[in-house]
Amino acid sequence: MKQEASPVIYQESMKNALLVMSIAQHRMGEQQASLDTLNQCVISFPEFKDAYLIRGQKNLLMKKCQKALQDFIKFDQLVNQELNDELINSAQNQTKVNFLTLQVCISKEAIGDAHKKMRRYKQASKCYNDALSEL
């Protein structure tokens, strides 16, 4: 008898498949297709924080700095929300808290990179300092 995958496993597989497809499209030089796949991933899975980070990086590469900044800010919000939930629910899981803290640093750095690309050096510097203060 064939056992069907649970909805959670299916969703995780779909999220990851879309990211992998976007990366493959990027490597084949299909930049717009890669961005379209990331857009589909964000629409289908709006709470999938990694999709915002990768789409933000893609937008930054395509010189769409304002869109990149929006994605990095959304990534930052989702990471901080998850970190706060983890701190409230499970103070014993220090490994996950450390991982999420690292993601907060990554989000601050990414936001700083977007500001720097737009020549907003004061905002970029503040973001980089915020990232360092998280450590």
**Domain assignment of residue 102, given as a range:** 7-134
**2 part of a folded domain:** no
**101 part of a folded domain:** yes
**What pLDDT is attached to residue 42?**
97
Mutual orientation of helices 49-61 and 94-117 as an angle, nearest 10°?
20
Q: What is the CATH number of the domain that holds 97?
A: 1.25.40.10
**59 part of a folded domain:** yes
Q: Model-level pTM?
A: 0.79
pLDDT digit string (tens) for the chain, length 135 residues: 555 657 778 788 899 999 999 999 999 999 999 999 999 999 999 999 999 999 999 999 999 999 999 999 999 999 999 988 888 776 567 788 888 889 999 999 999 999 999 999 999 999 999 999 877
**Number of structural domains the chain divides into:** 1
Structure tokens at 118: 């737009």
**What pLDDT is attached to residue 126?**
94
